[in-house]
Amino acid sequence: MQIGEASGLVEEAPYVRFQSTAQNGRGYFTGVFGLVNGLARDGKLTAEQERFRRTNNDWYDAAYPDPSSVDPTVYDRELHPGAAAWFKCTSRDLIKRVDGYLEILAAHGIGCRMMRSSDPGRIVYEDEYQIVVVPHGAGPIQPSPSAIHDGYA
């Protein structure tokens, strides 16, 4: 992931996500905010990086809804295994601020990549700025009622 890639986003697909290049202990890819917040929890950020993180986390909290405040079950690991937030590409003001987080990750040698998709998974939450999806293939697969014919999926 190159610094500047977030603010230079081209609308190739309606959804974009910034996530780790390596799976975490549960087999999922941590998002950009989780990666930087993890560095902060571990005490690894410089004073300047921590100021950036706090200021921008506060800005994000004020600028758009927290899905888990709207629906406390959205990130429930049993109900929605692997649930992950994706920006809508129309949320340019939110996306362009990601570059500062990418700079922090690069300074700590942590890989992060930008993913684009028109169908990242089953949508379990949506607002005007973002969606939260359960990735395809995560957890038990339930066929949609329209896919069931004569009792067979």
User: In the chain, where are the structural domains located?
Assistant: 15-137
Beta bridge partners of 18: 114
Tens digits of residue pLDDT in 60-96 = 999 889 999 999 999 999 999 999 999 999 999 999 9
The per-residue pLDDT for 4 is 54
> Residue by residue, what is the 3-state secondary structure of 48-114?
HHHHHHHHHHHHHHHHCCCHHHHCCCCCCCCCCCCCEEEEECCCHHHHHCHHHHHHHHHHCCCCEEE
Tens digits of residue pLDDT in 88-144 = 999 999 999 999 999 999 999 999 999 999 999 999 999 999 999 999 886 544 434
For residues 13 and 5, what is the distance between their CA atoms, to the nearest angstrom?
15
